[in-house]
């Protein structure tokens, strides 16, 4: 028994992301400020939940429910974590909120901005906490890069950024019930992985949006196979400053692990971000002008001097998100300062516009 404050999680769905999240939730983390308890698990089949619990949180004894609703109504659950495919996030969030529960819901938060706004309206009315589980934003690497770019201005004024996520999912080989293939589950590269490319662009160009933040002009194209959006490219331009971001994603090819997936250009240098995937970055390298770097690019890389910042990850990297969220709840906040509601709406509105131009529509929209 620890003396740390406790937070009791109700886990909704037992798919891949719930496995990853729960595994990290129960990790021994000496710096942790909260004791995370897996209080309940809601799943389509009780046996699936039992197997999940024995594999991913063997030292805990959660109540296993054969429905999600029972998790929402369990008085011992402090916060519900939603790990269903994106098409169900709206319904899951609304039901959890209506039962008075705090919610951490996976990305993409919903299918569109309209659903997102309705969830936040409901949360406001019920006075509960809701946040999009954009784990990337909680990582120490992301927060340090944000500080270096916008407080220290390490590369001067940022004026453009490229960011790509190539995930290499062979959609045609998957069953039609897969969330990567089934439109009714929200299949498509933009909502699944393009949201990370967009997040890096947001980090570089602006950080976190107040409700009235400038909306970029958007020029976007999307390609489809069997009706599923498989490749997205979008240019975002902020007319007041001329800053540009290029957001790309594809499921048709895998990005090389460890290689650069995003480049941020400033008036005084540039930064490359590297990692296993854009959702799990490992390091970034700052290349400054006039500090031993030749001004032109026709020199071998070894002749240039960049400063590499490395961030080893504990577990898969979900501990930071879990910890920040738990502290928000324990300290009575209703929104995350790392992923506030206005920012989730802002991201969803950009994705709506990209999809409008790219002709991607989900059933029921």
Ligand X SMILES: NC(=O)C1=CN([C@@H]2O[C@H](COP(=O)(O)OP(=O)(O)OC[C@H]3O[C@@H](n4cnc5c(N)ncnc54)[C@H](OP(=O)(O)O)[C@@H]3O)[C@@H](O)[C@H]2O)C=CC1
List of residues contacting ligand X (CB under 6 A) = 13-17, 43-44, 48, 83-86, 88, 106-107, 135, 179, 185, 192, 279
Binding to ligand LJPVP2WV (CB under 6 A) within 177-196 occurs at 192-193
β-strand partners of 321? none
Buried b (16+ CB within 10 A) or exposed e, 113-125: bebbbebbebbee
Query: What is the closest distance, in whole angstroms, from the C-beta atom of residue 348 to ligand X in the complex?
Result: 13
Per partner kind, with CB cut-offs from 5 to 8 A, the member of ligand LJPVP2WV, ligand X, none near residue 277 is: ligand LJPVP2WV
Closer by beta carbon to ligand X, 174 or else 361: 174
Binding to ligand LJPVP2WV (CB under 6 A) within 247-306 occurs at 277, 279
Closer by beta carbon to ligand LJPVP2WV, 186 or else 206: 186
Assigned token pair, 53: 């619990």
The reply to whether 18 sits near ligand LJPVP2WV by the rule CB under 6 A is: no
Strand 307-310 vs strand 79-82: parallel, antiparallel, or unpaired?
unpaired
Query: What is the closest distance, in whole angstroms, from the C-beta atom of residue 75 to ligand X in the complex?
Result: 22
Closer by beta carbon to ligand X, 14 or else 313: 14
* CA 200/CA 188 separation, integer angstroms: 19
| List of residues 6+ apart from 290 with CB closer than 8 A | none
Residue, CB closest to ligand X: 15
Closer by beta carbon to ligand X, 189 or else 279: 279
Assigned token pair, 230: 């498989």
Radius of gyration of the CA atoms of the chain, in A: 21
For ligand LJPVP2WV (CB under 6 A), the number of binding residues is 5
Angle separating helix axes 89-98 and 113-126, nearest 10 degrees: 10
Closer by beta carbon to ligand LJPVP2WV, 188 or else 216: 188
Buried b (16+ CB within 10 A) or exposed e, 329-365: beeeebbbebbbbbbbbbbbbbbbbbbeebebebeee
Q: What is the pattern of x (binds ligand LJPVP2WV, CB under 6 A) and - over residues 152-171?
A: ---------------x----
Q: What is the pattern of x (binds ligand LJPVP2WV, CB under 6 A) and - over residues 193-212?
A: x-------------------
Contact 287, 271 (CB under 8 A): yes
Per partner kind, with CB cut-offs from 5 to 8 A, the member of ligand LJPVP2WV, ligand X, none near residue 323 is: none
Contact 41, 75 (CB under 8 A): no
Q: Which residues bind ligand LJPVP2WV (CB under 6 A)?
A: 167, 192-193, 277, 279
């Amino acid at each position: 028994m620890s003396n740390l404050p406790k937070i009791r999680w109700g886990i909704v769905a037992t798919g891949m992301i719930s496995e990853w999240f729960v595994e990290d939730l129960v990790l021994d983390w000496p710096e942790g400020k909260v004791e995370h308890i897996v209080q309940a698990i809601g799943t389509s089949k009780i046996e699936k939940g039992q197997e999940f619990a024995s594999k991913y949180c063997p030292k805990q004894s959660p109540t296993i429910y054969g429905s999600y609703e029972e998790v929402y109504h369990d008085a011992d659950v402090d916060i519900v974590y939603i790990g269903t495919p994106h098409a169900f996030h709206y319904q899951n969030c609304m039901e959890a909120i209506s039962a008075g529960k705090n919610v951490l819901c996976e990305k993409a938060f919903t299918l569109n901005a309209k659903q997102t706004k309705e969830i936040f309206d409901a949360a406001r009315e019920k006075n509960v906490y809701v946040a999009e589980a954009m784990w990337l934003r909680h990582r120490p690497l992301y927060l340090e890069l944000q500080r270096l770019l916008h407080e220290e201005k390490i590369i001067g004024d940022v004026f453009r950024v490229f960011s790509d996520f190539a995930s290499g999912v062979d959609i045609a080989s998957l069953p039609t019930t897969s969330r990567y293939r089934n439109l009714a589950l929200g299949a498509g590269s933009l909502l699944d992985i393009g949201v990370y490319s967009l997040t890096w662009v947001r980090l570089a160009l602006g950080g976190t949006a107040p409700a009235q933040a400038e909306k970029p002009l958007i020029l976007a194209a999307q390609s489809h196979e069997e009706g599923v959006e498989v490749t997205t490219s979008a240019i975002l331009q902020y007319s007041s400053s001329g800053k540009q971001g290029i957001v790309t994603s594809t499921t048709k090819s895998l990005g090389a692990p460890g290689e650069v997936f995003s480049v941020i250009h400033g008036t005084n240098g540039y930064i490359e971000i590297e990692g296993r995937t854009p959702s799990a970055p490992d390091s970034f390298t700052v290349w400054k002008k006039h500090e031993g770097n030749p001004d032109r690019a026709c020199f071998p890389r070894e002749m240039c001097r960049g400063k590499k910042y490395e961030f080893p990850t504990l577990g898969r990297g979900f501990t930071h998100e879990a910890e920040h969220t738990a502290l928000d709840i324990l300290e009575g906040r209703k929104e995350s300062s790392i992923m506030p509601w206005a920012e989730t709406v802002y991201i969803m509105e950009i994705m709506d516009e990209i999809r409008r131009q790219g002709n991607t529509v989900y059933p029921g929209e």
